[in-house]
Amino acid sequence: MYNSNDVEAFGRALFIAYGVPEDIAGDVVKSLVLSDLSGHPSHGTIRIIQYLDNVDTGRLDPSARPEIVSETAATTHINGNWGFGQIAGRVGVNTVVGKAKQNGVALAGLYNCNHLGRLGEWAEAAAAQGVLLLMGVGGPSSFAGAPFGGAERALATNPFAAGVPSGNRSPMIMDFATTATAEGKIRVAKAKGVELPSGQILDKHGKPSVIPDDFYSGGMMLPFGGHKGSALGILMDVLGSCLTGSAETDKEFKMGGTMIGINPGVFRGVGDYDRDSGELFERIESVEPAPGFDEVMLPGEPERRARSQNLERGVEIALSTVQTFVALAGELGVDASLFDTT
């Protein structure tokens, strides 16, 4: 286990040594460490390696900043300029929150934005400011998933997220891929050398597999929930690509996202909304737990508890990832003593 502040400082130094501006490096690494703290290492510091590879291949411009290309009272169209997705995501959520508070509803469309990180971060950011956020990400690139009934890649993981505020209560936060697992979780399983749960991937021949390498050797992810998850995945592709125009690029990577912000007071008083949503949340949490469960939790509660625990005990990083970090640090002249286990 590693202290999260130390991991953040190391990641920031690694990015800066790679030519990333200090403010961008700090924001991106803070986002990645937050994912580790939240119990989602699939979107945590393991992604540093991917991002640096993307810089090397020219897919990611480390110094690029997002640009608002068009705007109305309730909409914002944002070009990420092929920089870090987390930077574009922050611009998106900030504009959506501000416009939703003023106009009741607001939309932000993101394109050319690279990997957006853990979408739950943006849902949490909006909910913390009292705005309900819905977000869909998708696009016709990095095909990883097969549609229901198919044995060929045709969809990305196409995640969906939502942040639902409720007055002084903790918000409900949902964030999940429309495939049976996120690609990052396969990446973590591969790094740890463990098998996947059944029902998540097919190999290149369309046969069920639990071996992470089978996915990276031409296999594919299955949609969660059969035809229901497949339908949601297609919808996320519409929101992330067809709506934003993310496919209109010569680059191979064509991913985008749409954020929809809703002011809880759009139809009635915010106090009435807070009362009713609070009663709903309380009703869910008061349900008698089923055998094998200690309690019923709202989505987002496991992440809040994980952050509280991991801030004290530190975050876990797979040995193979640590070894890659140490090698990169040696090449770039970055202090990697954090990972010294001797």
> Could you write out the three-class secondary structure of the chain?
CECHHHHHHHHHHHHHHCCCCHHHHHHHHHHHHHHHHCCCHHHCCCHHHHHHHHHHHCCCCCCCCCEEEEECCCEEEEECCCCCHHHHHHHHHHHHHHHHHHHCEEEEEEECCCCCCCHHHHHHHHHHCCCEEEEEEECCCCCCECCCCCCCCCECCCCEEEEEEECCEEEEEEEECCECCCHHHHHHHHHHCCCCCCCCEECCCCCEECCHHHHHCCCEECECCCHHHHHHHHHHHHHHHHCCCCCCCCCCCCCEEEEEEECCCCCCCHHHHHHHHHHHHHHHHCCCCCCCCCCCCCCCHHHHHHHHHHHHHCECCCHHHHHHHHHHHHHHCCCCHHHCCC
pLDDT band at 14 (very low <50, low <70, confident <90, very high): very high
Measured CA distances, 140 to 268, 303, 306 (Å): 39, 30, 34
Rg (CA), the chain: 20
Q: Give this prediction's pTM.
A: 0.92
The Cα angle at residue 115 between residues 129 and 72, in degrees rounded to 5:
50
Give how many domains the chain has, as a whole number: 1
- Rounded CA separation 137/205 (Å): 28
Q: Domain with 321 in it: what CATH number?
A: 3.30.1370.60
Q: With respect to residue 196, please indicate whether it lies within any of the assigned structural domains.
A: no
Token pair, residue 76, equals 């914002």
Q: With respect to residue 209, please indicate whether it lies within any of the assigned structural domains.
A: no
What b-and-e string marks burial along 226-263, b requiring 16 or more CB atoms within 10 Å of the CB? eeebbebbbebbebbbebbbbbeeeeebbbbbbbbbbb
Of 90, 1, 7, 3, nearest to 48 (Cα)?
A: 7
Q: With respect to residue 190, please indicate whether it lies within any of the assigned structural domains.
A: no
What is the number of alpha carbons within 13 Å of residue 307 lying toward its C-beta? Answer: 12
Q: Which domain holds residue 85?
A: 4-179+223-272+300-339
Residue 299, C-beta contacts closer than 8 angstroms, at least 6 positions apart: 172, 173, 174
Token pair, residue 219, equals 């296999």
Q: With respect to residue 184, please indicate whether it lies within any of the assigned structural domains.
A: no
Q: With respect to residue 76, please indicate whether it lies within any of the assigned structural domains.
A: yes
pLDDT digits over 45-97, tens only?
999 999 999 999 999 999 999 999 999 999 999 999 999 999 999 999 999 99
Q: With respect to residue 203, please indicate whether it lies within any of the assigned structural domains.
A: no
Of 7, 92, 22, nearest to 62 (Cα)?
A: 22
Residue 342, pLDDT above cutoff 70: no
Q: With respect to residue 319, please indicate whether it lies within any of the assigned structural domains.
A: yes
pLDDT digits over 135-169, tens only?
999 986 668 899 999 989 999 899 999 999 999 99
Q: With respect to residue 283, please indicate whether it lies within any of the assigned structural domains.
A: no
pLDDT digits over 86-136, tens only?
999 999 999 999 999 999 999 999 999 999 999 999 999 999 999 999 999
pLDDT digits over 162-220, tens only?
999 999 999 999 999 999 988 888 988 998 899 999 999 999 999 999 999 999 999 99
